[in-house]
Amino acid sequence: MQCYLTEIVSAMSGDNTQIQNAACTALGKAISENAQSIEPYLSDIVKLFENVSKSYKKNNLANLYDIMALLAQNVARSKIQDPNIENVLMGIIVEKWKESQFNDLESIYLAGIFPFNSSHLIFKNVQIHCLQL
């Protein structure tokens, strides 16, 4: 799994948006189908999210949000609730929310990424932060 994730990290960090998109899809599939084997690398994956969120635009940013939601839904609650992990994920979303124009598609996507009826703690915390903005 480590070699696979190394290649995904490299592709997600590159400049080619089509390769970034393909890498996002591959990581999403890995998370959906093999969440337990991803857990040992969770910290590195979240750091990757933090780094690429600064440069991703539109479709790839939407893909990143989808992967973050998949991660929160499929990884063990105890792992996601680690303050280091949770703070980085929430920081990405809150920062993007602050940058949004509130009348663009990105802000609509951000507002809808986490369902309000979700029982997952990270969803609830993000909702609270976004509602306070």
pLDDT digits (tens, 9 = 90+) for 66-122: 888 888 888 877 788 888 888 888 888 778 767 765 555 555 555 555 544 444 555
Contacts 24+ apart (CB under 8 A), 76-80: 76/35, 76/36, 76/39, 77/120, 77/121, 79/39, 79/42, 80/120, 80/121, 80/122
CATH number for the region 2-132 comes to: 1.25.40
- The model carries a pTM of 0.73
Going from N- to C-terminal start, the domains of the chain cover: 2-132
> What's the token pair of residue 20?
């970034």
